[in-house]
Chains A and B, each alone.
Chain A
Amino acid sequence: MLAKRIIPCLDVRDGKVVKGINFVGIKEVGDPVECAEEYNAQGADEICFLDITATHEGRGTMVDVVRRTAQRVFVPLTVGGGISSVDDFRELLRSGADKVSVNSAAVRNPQLIKDAAEIFGSQCVVVAIDAKKKGDSWTVVVNGGRIDMNIDAIEWAKKAEELGAGEILLTSMDTDGMKTGFDIELLNAVCDAVKIPVIASGGCGTLQHFSEVFQKTKASAALAASLFHYKELTVSQVKEHLEENNIPVRRVD
């Protein structure tokens, strides 16, 4: 049986982790490679880098981060943020990424999903969807929730699957940062609409939120950033809790 995956996400700008990190034993605080190694040791099933570099010059550093991480961490690596072309996919996959996630560029140019899936295979194409409640449904938003694309999030998830997405990374902009739990209603709506794996993101604050998301939805994985960044919880604590609740997980200890 497949294990449910726990995915820590690192926000990287100009080659540095931007959220204040205070891992014990890490000398160079804010080095994404060392943070990834720490998460790997805790039992992360996948590491996600989100590149929030604003400048073009800074983007080369992400490729270097991925290359260095792939030399030390032997679990799948996913890279997202600012991906807008097949060439971006190629560069990151060549440097050691296993999956690339696309967000606003795919909303603006859905063909990108199809092109990337045909060239590199669906298994490495992750479509990240930021969704926000609007009336009785959800709308797709971009730029950190600032721009409403007026596209139904459920329909967009279906279309992404049709175009060849291998996975959906679904972030609820209503629960993100709230620490009140994952958005169960949104997750169920998307999980019911697609057959590909859905990664739950946004809103977790406690151990119970992780067991809840796997008990109440068909999500294949749960992603969290600041919760792990600030060491409020470790990946191993989350997995121990899930195991106690009879949810299959990969333990490394």
Chain B
Amino acid sequence: MITIIDYGAGNLFSVQNALNYLGVENRISSRAEDIISADKLILPGVGAFPDAMKMLDEAGLTDVIKEQAKLKPLMGICLGMQMLFDKSYEFGETAGLGLIPGTVELMHPEDDLVIPHIGWNALEKNEPCALLDGVNEGDYVYFVHSFAAVTDSKNVAAYCDYGMKVPALVTSGKVYGCQFHPEKSGKTGLTILKNFCEI
């Protein structure tokens, strides 16, 4: 059973649609007991970092997620991925979940590229990762974001190139984070989600 964590900010139904399509048992929930009893967790997120952390706190879920992430696989998606890091500089400085070492900062791409980074970009593999089984070098996934993780290369399973090296898939221990939207990334995204479900 995968619990998709509902704290008021997220593309919950798109993620659920993808899991249903893959035939994976799942539920959307904001209850701590559903996070504790799940085999795996997905933390979605859309919007601004401080608001999302605040909502997570107000839902009383911050500590339980931190504890459970040591015990079972957790995948953060988009803003949910950024929340896995130590802190973000979006609208000031806000502490994150601290599950992957690093920070989240505004992108500074070269070549006068536009922020936000929206569209299909190619994955460049970096460190080996089980989530990339069956995914080829250069396969495209769908991004929508303005901030990006700043983290050691050893935590990055794949980058993409947008006038800078953008961490696209990050991992540390049982924790995984997709800056892109696997639930909107066609077959490649479904493969990555399926790999996560089968860890």
Q: Are A and B bound to each other?
A: yes
- A220, B186: Cβ atoms under 8 Å? no
CA distance A5 to B184 in the complex (A): 14
Q: Return the chain A residue nearest B20 by Cβ.
A: A71
Q: Is B89 an interface residue (CB 8 A)?
A: no
Residues of A121-135 contacting chain B, CB below 8 A: 121-123
Q: Is B185 an interface residue (CB 8 A)?
A: yes
Residues of B within 8 A of A (CB): 13-14, 17-18, 20-21, 46-47, 114, 116-122, 140, 142, 144, 161-162, 183-187, 189-190
Chain A interface size range: 20 to 34
Residues of A216-253 contacting chain B, CB below 8 A: 220, 248, 250, 252
CA distance A11 to B46 in the complex (A): 29
Can you report 23 A-B residue pairs in the complex whose CB atoms are below 8 A from each other?
Answer: A1-B161, A1-B162, A3-B121, A3-B140, A5-B119, A45-B120, A70-B13, A71-B17, A74-B21, A74-B183, A74-B184, A74-B187, A75-B185, A76-B184, A96-B13, A98-B184, A121-B47, A123-B116, A123-B144, A220-B119, A250-B120, A250-B140, A250-B186
Kindly list chain B residues whose C-beta atoms are within 8 Å of the C-beta of A159. none
Q: Return the chain B residue nearest A122 by Cβ.
A: B116
Kindly list chain A residues whose C-beta atoms are within 8 Å of the C-beta of B114. 195-197
Select A3's contact among B122, B144, B183, beta carbons within 8 Å. Answer: B122
Q: Is A166 an interface residue (CB 8 A)?
A: yes
Main secondary structure of the interface of B (DSSP, over half): mixed
Q: Is A72 an interface residue (CB 8 A)?
A: yes
Kindly list chain A residues whose C-beta atoms are within 8 Å of the C-beta of B121. 1-3
Main secondary structure of the interface of A (DSSP, over half): loop
Give how many A-B residue pairs fall within 8 Å (CB-CB).
68
Select A96's contact among B14, B20, B117, B144, beta carbons within 8 Å. Answer: B14
CA distance A197 to B20 in the complex (A): 32
Q: Known contacts A2-B162, A121-B47; can you find 7 more A-B pairs with CB under 8 A? A: A3-B120, A74-B183, A75-B185, A76-B184, A98-B184, A123-B144, A197-B114
Contact with B along A25-59 (1 / 0, CB 8 A): 00000000000000010000100000000000000
- A252, B186: Cβ atoms under 8 Å? yes
Residues of A within 8 A of B (CB): 1-3, 5, 40, 45, 70-72, 74-76, 94, 96, 98, 121-123, 166-167, 195-197, 220, 248, 250, 252
Kindly list chain B residues whose C-beta atoms are within 8 Å of the C-beta of A98. 14, 184
The verdict on A197 contacting B119 (CB below 8 Å), with A74-B21, A74-B185, A252-B187 known, is yes
- B14, A1: Cβ atoms under 8 Å? no
CA distance A180 to B118 in the complex (A): 30
Kindly list chain A residues whose C-beta atoms are within 8 Å of the C-beta of B185. 74-75
What distance in Å separates the Cβ of B155 from its nearest Cβ neighbour in chain A?
24
* Top 10 A-B pairs, shortest CB-CB distance: A250-B140, A3-B120, A2-B119, A250-B120, A123-B144, A71-B17, A195-B114, A75-B186, A76-B184, A70-B17
CA distance A196 to B118 in the complex (A): 10
Which of B14, B114, B118, B185 lies at the interface centre, i.e. has the most chain A CB atoms within 10 A of its CB? Answer: B118
Kindly list chain A residues whose C-beta atoms are within 8 Å of the C-beta of B162. 1-2
Kindly list chain B residues whose C-beta atoms are within 8 Å of the C-beta of A72. 21
CA distance A196 to B140 in the complex (A): 21
- A2, B189: Cβ atoms under 8 Å? no
- A74, B119: Cβ atoms under 8 Å? no
Kindly list chain A residues whose C-beta atoms are within 8 Å of the C-beta of B20. 71
Kindly list chain B residues whose C-beta atoms are within 8 Å of the C-beta of A166. 116, 118
Kindly list chain A residues whose C-beta atoms are within 8 Å of the C-beta of B46. 121
- B186, A5: Cβ atoms under 8 Å? no
Kindly list chain A residues whose C-beta atoms are within 8 Å of the C-beta of B119. 2-3, 5, 197, 220
What distance in Å separates the Cβ of A26 from its nearest Cβ neighbour in chain B?
19
Q: Return the chain B residue nearest A75 by Cβ.
A: B186
- A74, B18: Cβ atoms under 8 Å? yes
Kindly list chain B residues whose C-beta atoms are within 8 Å of the C-beta of A196. 114
The verdict on A123 contacting B118 (CB below 8 Å), with A71-B17, A96-B13, A252-B186 known, is yes
CA distance A150 to B13 in the complex (A): 42
CA distance A195 to B115 in the complex (A): 9
Select B122's contact among A1, A121, A122, beta carbons within 8 Å. Answer: A1
Which of B17, B20, B119 lies at the interface centre, i.e. has the most chain A CB atoms within 10 A of its CB? Answer: B119
